[in-house]
Structure 1
Amino acid sequence: MTRRRLFGSLCTLVFLVNLARVVFAPLVEPLQAAFTTTNATIGLTVTLAWLGSALPRIPTGYLLTRVPRHYVVGATGLVLAAASAFIAAADTVPEVMVGAFLMGIASGAYFIAANPLVSELFPRRVGTALGVHGMASQIGAAVASLLVSVALFVGDWRTTFHAIGLAALLSTVGFALMARRTQLPEAGTDDRDLLAAVRHQWRIVLAGVVVISASGFVWQGVFNFLDSYLRTRGFSGGDARLLLTGVFAAGVPAFAVTGWLADRVRIVPLLLSILAGFALCVFALTLPFGTVWVVAVALVMGYVIHSLFPAMDTYLLGSLPDRHRASAYAVYSGTMMLLQATGSWAVGLLTDAGFSFPLIYRSFAVGLAVILLALVVTYRAGRLPTGARA
C-alpha cells in the first residue's frame, strides 16, 4: 500500500514537471504580445525549455550511481518551484529564457530518476506502471492550454507560473513524506558504472535514440506551433488552444492503453507501427480539407504520438537489467532529448525565412518515412535489437 501511495505522489509530480515543459506552447502568442518579439525568438525560448530537459539527463544518470533515486526526485521538485518563481518575475525575454531553461532542467532530471524508480516499484507490470505514470504526465500536458486560458482570464501569463511554483513546492513536500514511510526497492544498488552500462547496451540505446529523436524533433515543431498553424487555417485563438488541449487529452488514454499493450505484444513491431502512424498524421494535417478534417487528424495524431513514449520506455526499462537500467536509460534519454529539442527553433527559423507550415510539415513527414523504411529493413535483417542484453 505504501508503494502505491508513493506512486501516487510521483504521479502528482510528473503532472507538474510535464506541465512546465509544454505550458509554453499555448503561451507563444501571449509572450509575443507581451514582449513584442518574433517567431524565432519564441521558438528559441520553447527550445530552451526542452534543451534544459535534455542537458541534465546524462549527468543525472551518473548522479544516480551515487545518490538514491528519491533524493533526486525531491530535488527536481524544488528546482521546479524556484524556476517557476523566477520566470513569473521576469521582465525581459532573456529572463524568460533562463526560467524556461531551469524548468526544463527540473523535468529532465525528474524523468531520469523517476522512470527507473517506477519500473522498480512494480517489476512485474513495468509497461502498465509506466503507462499510468505517463498518463498522469499527459494530463498535465492536456490541461496546459486550459490553465493558460484561466490564467489569462484572471490575471496574465505570469499567473500560470505562480500557480505551478506553489503546486510544485507542496507536491515535493508530500513526496518527501511518503518516501520516508516507504520501503524502497534495492534493484538499482548495483548500477554503479554508467560507461560500462552504455558499452554493454549501446545497441538498444542507439535504436531508442533513432526512433524517439526523429519523431520527437517533428513533434516539437508541430505542437509548439500548432496554435499558429491553426490560425492560418482559419481557427480563432480560443479554438486553436482548445484543439491543442484536445490533442494532448487524446494522449491520456494512449499512455494507459499502450503501456498495457506493451506488456503483451512484440515491442519492436509495435514501435514501428506507431512511428508509421505518426508520419501519416503529420502529412495528413497539411492536406487542404475542412475544419472537421483538421480536428480529426490532430486528435488522432495526439493519440498516436503519445503511444510511442510508453512503448519506448517499456522497450528499454522493461528489458534492461538492474545493474544497467538507470545509466543506460539516462544516456538514451539525454541523447534523444538533445537531438529533438531543436524542433521548435527549426520551425521558427523556417517560418521566419518564408517557408509555409504545410511545406515544413510535409518535409518532416517524408523524413520520418525514410527513417521508418531504414528501421524496417534493419529489423527484417535481424539487426535491430528486440531487447537489452542480459
Structure 2
Amino acid sequence: MVFLVNFARVVFAPLLEPLKAHFGVSATVIGLIATLVWLGSALPRIPTGYLLTRVARHRVVLGAGIVLTVSAGLTAFAPNITVLAVGAFAMGTASAVYFIAANPLVSELYPDRVGRAIGIHGMASQLAAAIAPVFVGLLLTMVEWRDVLKLLMVVTAAVTVVYFVVVGRTELPDAGATDRDLLTAFRRQWPIILSGVAIIGATGFVWNGLFNWYPSYLHQTKHLSLETGRTLLTVVFAAGVPAFFLTGRLADRVPHVPLMLSILGGFIVCLLALTAAQGLAAIVGVSLVLGYVIHSLFPALDTYLLDSLPDENRASAYAVYSGLAMIGQAAGSSIVGALLDAGFLFDTVFRTFSIGLIAILFVLVALHRADRLPTAAATS
C-alpha cells in the first residue's frame, strides 16, 4: 500500500509535459497540478490526526486505499483541466490519510526498533519514486497518460482488497488507545513539533520544486534529452532507497538533532553542486549524492518524532507536525513554474533557494548550540 500511495504522489513528475501538451496550458498551470497533489497530501493531515482519535489506525489505512482507487479513476477519465486538478488533489489526499495513520502504526508495531521499521517502510515507499519516472516513461511510449492512471486504479483496488483480508487476520497493537485529544497533544508537544517543521518545511519546499521539474531542468539548462532527464530523476529517487534503510538504522544510534542538521547542510551543498555541474558524468554523480542526502532527512525526522512521542500523543502530534510541514512544501512546483514564466532561469531560482536554506540552517545551528532545539518530546 505504501508503494502505491507514494507512486500516486510522484507519478505527475514524468507526466507534466504530456499533460501540458494535452490540455494546452502554461507551465504555471501544469505546475499547479503537481502542487495540488502535494496540497492534497498536506491539508488533510491534521484532520486525519483528529480522525485517528476516533477510528483505529488500520481502518484509516483501508480508507486511504479506497480513496486512492476512486481518485485515480477520476483523474484518468478527466475531460478537462479542472477535473484533472480535483483528481490530483484527491490522489494526494489518499497519501495524507495513509501516512498519518500508517507511520504511527508502524512505530507501534516495532517500538524497540522505530528507526529501522520507519526506514524499511520508507524504503518501500521510495521504491515507487525510483520506479515511477522510467516505468511511466516506458508506458508513455506504448499508451497515453490516461492509461497510466487507469493501471494505478486497478492495482490499488486489488491491493486494498488484499490488505483488508490480511489485517483481519493480524493482531494489532493498542498503544494508541489513549491518544484521544489532538489539541492537548499539540499544547504538550509543540516544541518538538515546531522544531520538526523548521527543519523540513523550507527544505521540502525546495525539494518539491526541484524534483517535479527535474527532467525539464536537465533538458532546458543542461541540454539533456527529456528521456535522459526522466532516467536521472529515477537515479535521484533510486539513491533514496538505501538512504531510508541506512539512515533509519543510524537514527536509532546517534543523536537526532545533529544528524538532521548535518543532512540539511549536505542537501544545500548538493543543490549548489547541481547548478554548477556540467557534462553527463558530473550530473549523474551529483544526482546520486543528492538523492541519497535528501531522502536521508525523512527517516531521520520521522524517527526523531515517533521515537520520542509518548503513546498518548504520538499520532495526534505527528499529524500536526506533518500537516504544518506539508502545507509549506506543497507550493514548491507551482512557485518554480511561476518564476519560470516570469523569465527567471532554473539555476537562478535554485541558487536563490540555496541561499535561503543556508540562512535557515544558520539559525537552527545557533538554536541547537544554545540548547533551544528540543532533543526529545515532553512527557506526561
- Pick the TM interval, shorter chain: over 0.9
Match of 2:361 among 372, 379, 388: 372
1:245 corresponds in structure 2 to 234
State the Cα distance separating 1:153 from its structure 2 match: 2.1
In 2: Cα distance, 1:221 partner to 1:108 partner: 19
State the Cα distance separating 1:181 from its structure 2 match: 0.7
In 1: Cα distance, 2:70 partner to 2:278 partner: 45
In 2: Cα distance, 1:134 partner to 1:141 partner: 11
1:383 corresponds in structure 2 to 372
Q: Which amino acid aligns with 2:302?
A: D
Equivalent residue runs for 1:252-263 within 5 Å: 252-263=241-252
In 2: Cα distance, 1:78 partner to 1:99 partner: 14
SS in 1 for 2:13: coil
In 2: Cα distance, 1:251 partner to 1:183 partner: 31
2:3 corresponds in structure 1 to 15
1:10 corresponds in structure 2 to none
Match of 2:116 among 103, 124, 128: 128
In 2: Cα distance, 1:127 partner to 1:111 partner: 16
In 2: Cα distance, 1:65 partner to 1:83 partner: 25
In 2: Cα distance, 1:188 partner to 1:133 partner: 19
State the Cα distance separating 1:289 from its structure 2 match: 2.5
Q: Which amino acid aligns with 1:46?
A: A
Q: Which amino acid aligns with 1:267?
A: H
Equivalent residue runs for 1:224-243 within 5 Å: 224-232=212-220, 233-243=222-232
1:42 equivalent to 2:30? Answer yes
Structure 2 length as normaliser, TM-score? 0.98
Q: Which amino acid aligns with 1:234?
A: H
User: How many residue pairs get matched?
Assistant: 378
State the Cα distance separating 1:150 from its structure 2 match: 2.5
State the Cα distance separating 1:288 from its structure 2 match: 5.2
State the Cα distance separating 1:154 from its structure 2 match: 2.2
In 1: Cα distance, 2:123 partner to 2:178 partner: 29
Cα distance per residue 1:316-373 (max 9 Å; x no partner): 0001000000000000000110011001111000000000000000011111111001
- Listed as ranges, the gaps of 5+ residues in structure 1 are 1-12
In 1: Cα distance, 2:233 partner to 2:88 partner: 20
1:308 equivalent to 2:297? Answer yes
In 2: Cα distance, 1:153 partner to 1:81 partner: 24
SS in 2 for 1:25: helix
In 1: Cα distance, 2:195 partner to 2:264 partner: 13
In 1: Cα distance, 2:323 partner to 2:247 partner: 23
1:83 equivalent to 2:81? Answer no
2:14 corresponds in structure 1 to 26
1:169 equivalent to 2:173? Answer no
2:345 corresponds in structure 1 to 356
Q: Which amino acid aligns with 1:278?
A: F
Structure 1 length as normaliser, TM-score? 0.96
1:9 corresponds in structure 2 to none
Contact 1:147 1:160 in 2 (8 A): no
State the Cα distance separating 1:292 from its structure 2 match: 1.6
Contact 2:277 2:286 in 1 (8 A): no
Identity fraction in percent:
58
Q: Which amino acid aligns with 1:196?
A: T
Match of 2:326 among 324, 337, 361: 337
In 2: Cα distance, 1:237 partner to 1:139 partner: 21
